[in-house]
Chain A
């Protein structure tokens, strides 16, 4: 057991948030927008048709190398008409130790987003979970069905309009439990 030489080497590869931003703007022009850096992590968004192209660019390009998908999930903003569901990807470049966040907005009537499963096998179940909770339809997913909830559930529970508790209980007193 020893430390692999990978670890000690490569924090010298300097990638700053600005250099990433520059490269993205050079490649995609003004389609990548809304660059922010909350708590040090570069966050940007792109139109949903381009999500695979952006992910591929971030994966293939030598100076980017974001080859690890840390997390994939969705957020529901019921007040933003036309952009209600946001699918958020967290990517990590393990060699240079840089993380970024990439968001794609879609509207709730046609929540179709291209699936990233071909690029990252990790996205398989993460997309199923996002579909199960929010109803985002991932186009091209090999097996898009419910994963955590019961198969017969007919609504998407994490959306803001649905309640947390089950509605068929008769023994809990609503006045006391404040529902």
Chain B
């Protein structure tokens, strides 16, 4: 089971995993930056996902959570199943029309700020199932932030999607959730 592990020595390769930190003014014993950046940094490295696994993509998610493609190193050590405590709703798998009200209810129960990740072709657009009983993409009922294509997406693709979510979370302005544009987006889905 021991596969050779490559240590990414910072500076010797051109892959940067950890940024130095947000830009700001550093002094003796203090660091001043904008609140957005600090809050964004804290939030993005400690996302608590809610795995809404319905079908095959759920098994690939289990493989991503496993030790080979570890998702916990990105801060998602604790996956929760209670919407009240989670930040990121990961919808994985086909959503049928029977299941759509359940997805909407779980989304409504989440507290702001919340993000949504649609994993797999079925959650993004209905996938290979263009039938009377399958919802053709969850963006018909809830707003989605990141789509991960694939059927099922490889774990590396899932991690790429999580990293994109982390980018979004880190760069989000603190005022976004109260802005008019966000309100318009929510109204277009019928969400108060």
Knowing A150-B97, A150-B98, the reply to whether A157 touches B136 (Cβ < 8 A) is no
Assess whether B132 is in contact with A163, with CB atoms less than 8 Å apart.
yes
- Distance in angstroms between the alpha carbons of A120 and B94 in the assembled complex: 33
- Distance in angstroms between the alpha carbons of A45 and B49 in the assembled complex: 55
Chain A: which residue is nearest B134 at the CB level?
A166
Q: Least Cβ distance of A7 to chain B in Å?
A: 33
CB<8 Å pairs between A and B, sample of 21: A149-B98, A149-B133, A150-B97, A150-B98, A150-B133, A157-B132, A157-B133, A162-B132, A163-B132, A164-B130, A164-B131, A164-B132, A165-B130, A165-B131, A165-B132, A166-B131, A166-B132, A166-B136, A169-B136, A172-B130, A177-B130
Of residues 86 to 134 in B, which have CB atoms within 8 Å of A's CB atoms?
97-98, 130-133
Q: Least Cβ distance of A19 to chain B in Å?
A: 45
* Chain B contacts to A: CB under 8 angstroms: 97-98, 130-133, 136
Q: Least Cβ distance of B129 to chain A in Å?
A: 10
CB-CB under 8 A from A165, the residues of chain B are 130-132
Interface residues on A, range: 10 to 19
**Per-residue contact bits, chain A 135-179, to B (CB 8 Å; 1 contact, 0 not):** 000000000000001100000010000111110010010000100
- Distance in angstroms between the alpha carbons of A157 and B131 in the assembled complex: 10
CB-CB under 8 A from B133, the residues of chain A are 149-150, 157
CB-CB under 8 A from B130, the residues of chain A are 164-165, 172, 177
- Distance in angstroms between the alpha carbons of A164 and B132 in the assembled complex: 6
- From DSSP, what is the main secondary structure of chain A's interface residues? loop
- Distance in angstroms between the alpha carbons of A150 and B102 in the assembled complex: 13
CB-CB under 8 A from B98, the residues of chain A are 149-150
Chain B: which residue is nearest A177 at the CB level?
B130
Q: Least Cβ distance of A44 to chain B in Å?
A: 34
- Distance in angstroms between the alpha carbons of A157 and B133 in the assembled complex: 10
Q: A157-B133, A166-B136 are in contact. List 4 more A-B contacts (CB 8 A).
A: A149-B98, A162-B132, A165-B132, A166-B132
Chain B: which residue is nearest A179 at the CB level?
B130
Residue among B97, B131, B132, B133 with most chain A CB within 10 A = B132
- Distance in angstroms between the alpha carbons of A165 and B97 in the assembled complex: 13
- Distance in angstroms between the alpha carbons of A162 and B133 in the assembled complex: 13
CB-CB under 8 A from A163, the residues of chain B are 132
Residue among A163, A166, A169, A177 with most chain B CB within 10 A = A166
Q: Least Cβ distance of A157 to chain B in Å?
A: 6
- Distance in angstroms between the alpha carbons of A159 and B131 in the assembled complex: 14
Chain B: which residue is nearest A162 at the CB level?
B132
Chain A: which residue is nearest B96 at the CB level?
A150
Of residues 50 to 90 in A, which have CB atoms within 8 Å of B's CB atoms?
none
Q: Least Cβ distance of B189 to chain A in Å?
A: 17
Q: Least Cβ distance of B107 to chain A in Å?
A: 20
CB-CB under 8 A from A169, the residues of chain B are 136
- Distance in angstroms between the alpha carbons of A177 and B131 in the assembled complex: 13
Q: Least Cβ distance of B43 to chain A in Å?
A: 34
Q: Least Cβ distance of A132 to chain B in Å?
A: 11
CB-CB under 8 A from B131, the residues of chain A are 164-166
- Distance in angstroms between the alpha carbons of A150 and B134 in the assembled complex: 11
Chain B: which residue is nearest A157 at the CB level?
B132
- Distance in angstroms between the alpha carbons of A59 and B98 in the assembled complex: 38
